[in-house]
A and B are shown apart, each in its own frame.
Chain A
Amino acid sequence: MLEKALKGSRGYGIWVACLLLLVATGFFFYLKQLDYGLGITGMSRDVSWGLYIAQFTFLVGIAASAVMLVLPYYLHDHKAFGKITILGEFLAVSAVIMCVTFVFVDLGQPGRVMNLLLYPSPTSVLFWDVIVLNGYLLLNLITGWTVLGCDRKGIPPPAWVKPLIYISIPWAVSIHTVTAFIYAGLPGRGFWLTAIMAPRFLASAFASGPALLILFCLILKRFGRFDAGEKAIQTLAKIVAYALATSIFFVLVELFTAFYSQIPGHMQHLKYLFAGLDGHNTIARWMGVSALTAVAAFVLLIIPQTRKREPLLAAACCFVFLSLWIEKGLGLVVTGFVPSPLERITEYTPTGPEVAITIGIWALGLLMITMFYKIFVSVRTET
C-alpha cells in the first residue's frame, strides 16, 4: 500500500517537498546540536527542560486522543466514526513517533540511548514511559495498517485485531498517565506536584487531539475527496467542547487550591505563569492568549449554530489547538522550574536552532500524517 503515498497531484508534491525541506533544516541544526551540545538551546541549569520535552508532553496527548474515536466505535458501535477511526490511529502513530524523536533530541548523550534498555530501572517513570509509548506505537501501527489493508481487499479485519484494539483503549490512558507521573511525582516542584496532573493531561488531550482531527477531516473534505460525514465531525466537536470545558475547570481548580491556601511554594509558579514575577512576564503573555482562545473556542463549540458552521468550527478547533499547545507545550514544563529551588527566576527563551529542530520534528510528523492519510484516501476512493 505504501506506493500510494508516492503518487499524487502537483499540490501534494509541493506540500511534501516543503515538509521535507523543513525536516532537512531541522536535521541540519540537530547535527549542529550534536557538535556543540545542548547548550545550543535556551535551556539552562535552572530551566533544564524546555521546548523539546514540552512538545513531547503535548504530543503524548495528541497520541492518546485516538481513543476518543476507537472507544465510541468499537465499544459503543457508534457507526459514524467507522470511516475515521483509522485516521485517529494513524494520527496516534505519527504523534508517538514525534514524541520519541523529541525525547531523543533532548538527550545530552544520544549515543547511549540503549542504556535505557540495558539497565532497566523500574523505579524510573521515564523507563515506563518508554515502554508504554513504544507499546502504543506498535498497537496502533498494527491495528491501523491491518484494518486498512482489509478495507482495500473488501474483507472484514481478522479476528485477532479486535483484542489488540481493546487493549489499545486503556493503553491510551496509560501513556498520558505515565507521562503526567513524570512531573507529578517530583518533590520540591510545587507546580507539578498535584494529583490532578494526569486527569488534567487527559482532559486537555481529549480536546486538542480531536480538534486536530476535525481540522484534518475538513482539509481532507476540501482537498482529498474524502468526507468524514457531518455526524462524525459534529460528535467530535462535542467531545472537544466538553473535554475543553473539563480542562479549563481543572486549571481553575488548581488556581483555587494554590491561591486560597496561600502556600507560597504553590502560588509562586502560578503567579509566574499567569501574571509574571518581578517583571518576567513573557510566558504570562502567551498564557493570556491561551486563556482567551480557550474561552473563545468554548463559546463557539458549545453553541450549536456556530458549531455547525464549518468556518467557525475550523476557527474554534484552531483556537483549541493553539490554546492547549501554549498551555502544555510551553507553559507547563517551563513554569515547573520557575522559580528554582533556590528562588531564582530564570527566563527561558528557545533559540533559533532549537526552534528549527522543533519545527523539523513537527514537519516529520506532518509528513507521516500526510502519507498515511494519502494512502487512506487512495484506498477508500478505490473501493
Chain B
Amino acid sequence: MDDLQFRRQAYGDPNNQSDDFLAHLAENEDDAKFVKDLKAFDQKLTQALKIDVPEDLADKLLLRQQLNLHQQTKKRGRYMMAMAASVAFVVGVSFSMLRFTPVNLSENSLAHVHHETKALIMEQDIGFNDVNFKLASIKGLSDSKFIKQPGRVFYTAYCDFQGVKSLHLVMADELGNKVTLFIVPAENRVVLEEAFADNQYKGQSFQTADAYMVLVGEPASDLDFVKKEVENTFI
C-alpha cells in the first residue's frame, strides 16, 4: 500500500478495518500515530455534531402522528357513511324498480320453460297433497288448493316471476304430452295474454279466483284438456 493510497483510506475512514490497512498500520509506526490522531479528531467531530435536541421532540413527533391518525379515522368514517348511504340508495332504487315493473306472464313462462329443461325430464309422481303443501307457503295462494289429483304431476318447484313467488308444475295431457303449469298469485302488475307461442312452445293462460294459471306445452299437446283438469280440481 503506497502512501497516497494509505492517506486516502485513513482520511476516508480512520476506523477502516480492512486487512491491508491494519497490516500497514502494524508496519508503520508514524502512520499508526497519524491514524490515532485522526481517530481523536473524529471523536471531536462526532461530539461537535451532537447538537442539543429539543427535549420534547419525541413527544411532539408522537403527538403529531396521533393527531394525523385521528383525522384519518374521522375521514374514513365519513367515507364509510357515504359508501353505506349510496349502497342503500342503489338497493332502494333497484328494489322499487323490480317491484313496480309490469310482469309479462307469457314471456316469462316461455323463458322459464326454455331455461328449466330438466323439469321436463323429471319422471316423479307427486301427490296433490304435496302440491297443496307448496301452495300454502306462497303468499296470496295460501287459501288455494287442489281438491283432488289433477292427473299425474311429474315435477314441482317454486319459481320466481320477477319477484313474484310462484309454483311450477309439470303435468300431462290425455295422450301423455308434458305440459308445464305455472300458478302465479294474482298481482296488479301482471300482464296476461290468453294465448301465446314461440317457435318451440305454445301457451295459454287464464284466471281463477286468486291466481293466474299459465299453461305451456309443445304444439301437439292438448292444453285445453289440462285447463279443464285444473279448473275441475283447483279452488
- Do A and B interact with each other, yes or no? no
